[in-house]
Amino acid sequence: MKIALIDYGAGNLHSVDNCLRSLDLEPVLVSSPDQLEGCTHLILPGVGSFGDCMEQLSSRDLIEPIRDWVKDDRPYFGICLGYQILFDHSEESPGVQGLGVIPGKVRRFKQEPGLKIPHMGWNAAKPVRPAQEIWQGLGDEPYFYFVHSYFPQPVNPDVVAARTEYGTDDFAAAVQQGAVVACQFHPEKSQAAGIRLIRNFLNPQCNLFPSRR
């Protein structure tokens, strides 16, 4: 197993790197397409804005390689912006195209009385299909750490893997499509539950990918 950890100059690399090292794994920091050679898994963390993320990936010639990786059904784990950029576009950065590998858009939370934006802190992510192996050992309502003002809205509800409520919005906290697993929360900051989720994704004995059965 060789894990590519995408470095686009603004992600939460250190916390994800530390999380992987706690699992006795040493990722390869990838900032150019040639560094993906020989990698078996790709993790794209993200902090910042949708537009800045796409711009930084473009400046490193990584957009098409990442898009091709996902389209080829290779293991991809997206965190926060690494989740949002899978979609077509975001209200955060009008006119900026995402990877477009999962149809849908990224919306901002509705402004409501007493509702703080960004959504920040611990919240439950309720698995849509808790028996799926990606949720093994996490129970029916695991808690994860969130920090975000925007959330994806997939066109196809079948890709939604977990849902979370915040205010009157019930949003897709995670998706799974083939070998793609992506989440709005930060598993690397979610203690035991987050580490378990990443371990499940990377576990070669865990059948995560229905398209390969």
Out of 38-47, 83-92, 107-116, 203-212, which region has the weakest mean confidence (pLDDT)? 203-212
Q: How confident is the model at residue 48 (pLDDT cuts 50, 70, 90)?
A: confident
pLDDT above 70 covers what percent of the chain?
95
Check if 188 is active-site. Answer: yes
The pLDDT value recorded for residue 213 is 33
Check if 186 is active-site. Answer: yes
Check if 141 is active-site. Answer: no
Q: How confident is the model at residue 210 (pLDDT cuts 50, 70, 90)?
A: very low
Residue 207 has pLDDT above 80, yes or no: no
Enter the DSSP assignment of 41: E
Domain count within the chain: 1
**More reliable by pLDDT, 139 or 208:** 139
**Catalytic annotation, pick one of 19, 89, 148, 188:** 188
CATH of the domain at 164: 3.40.50.880
Rounded to whole angstroms, the Cα distance separating 177 from 160 reads 8
**Catalytic annotation, pick one of 80, 89, 148, 183:** 80
- Helices 63-71, 50-59: axis angle to 10 degrees equals 100
Residue 204 structural domain: 3-212
Question: Which pair of tokens denotes residue 163?
Answer: 């849902």
